[in-house]
Structure 1
Amino acid sequence: MSPDTKKKLIELSELPMRQLVSKYEDHFGEQCRSRNRRYIYRRLAWKLQADDEGGLSERTLLRANAIAGESLFRVTPPRAKKPTMEVARPANWDKRLPPPGHVIERTYKGKTLCITVLTDGFEYDGQQYKSLTAVARAITGSHCNGFLFFKLGQSK
């Protein structure tokens, strides 16, 4: 690397971010989408060194384009997930529970159980219960935590 290029690299490392982005856009002819200082500096350093030493040969560029054309890499970023519509929940509503009107499903002993969430409790098999624990007790016949039984509020 020439002394002139080394001097340019030292100057680049001392530039404020705004000027570094401006230099990037001048050298690459495209808008800088990153705001990572280290990334921008490295790309500019590579470009200055490549310009100083002649860059890649034509044969290497053709081969790289051929390999890139055959690659299975994603060219575009994945689509953003659509925001889900948030249903209004009553005041003091437990965050582990879905909003009223939703159905909690759980398979237990080969049978799919459907529990409807109400504003004042839960409905299972035509009967109303005040808590998930009461529903779990009615299903299993023994005491167990309703949130654990229905796997609610657990991180995945």
Structure 2
Amino acid sequence: MKEKNAMAINVDQELTRLKQKTVKQLKLIYEDTFEEACRSNHKQWLVKRIIWRMQANAQGGLSERARQRAFEIANDADLRVTAPSTQSSRQAPTRVCTSTTHDPRIPLPGTVITRNYKGQTLEVTVLPDGFSYQGEVYKSLSSVTKAITGSHANGFLFFRLNKETVRG
């Protein structure tokens, strides 16, 4: 990270200046400011990130105590909150996801997604290239949901992936 200057910046002037730039120009400023490649073409996001970093550089960013606390919180996030399943048939092989196009809403391959539906416990296993349900392989959670309900539905909503229904 480059230290531009330790002086206070005029946020309004900088915002006006940045908003007048093209996306290509903003990407160059981003790469210079963050010293990393920029993959975004979203102008508002680039402006917000650049102005945030300029303010952080001018005002000193996070304190060491705040950085340490954030690091501790991030490490605690990986802790298991439920006991592992004891049934050997549910033990999924350990796999590392190396895909750069992995959808973050989908659990890693080997994870078993469960859902109680009409008195039955449904179990879907996440595969590297799809989902397994009752011996059949499906390309999406929505196609699994259609096989279960007979109608089109959003698979993420049906399996309530925003709640604690995933176990690995």
Structure 1 length normalisation: TM-score?
Answer: 0.45
Q: Which has the higher contact order (CA 8 A, sep 6+)?
A: 2
Structure 2 length normalisation: TM-score?
Answer: 0.42
Greater Rg, structure 1 or structure 2? 1
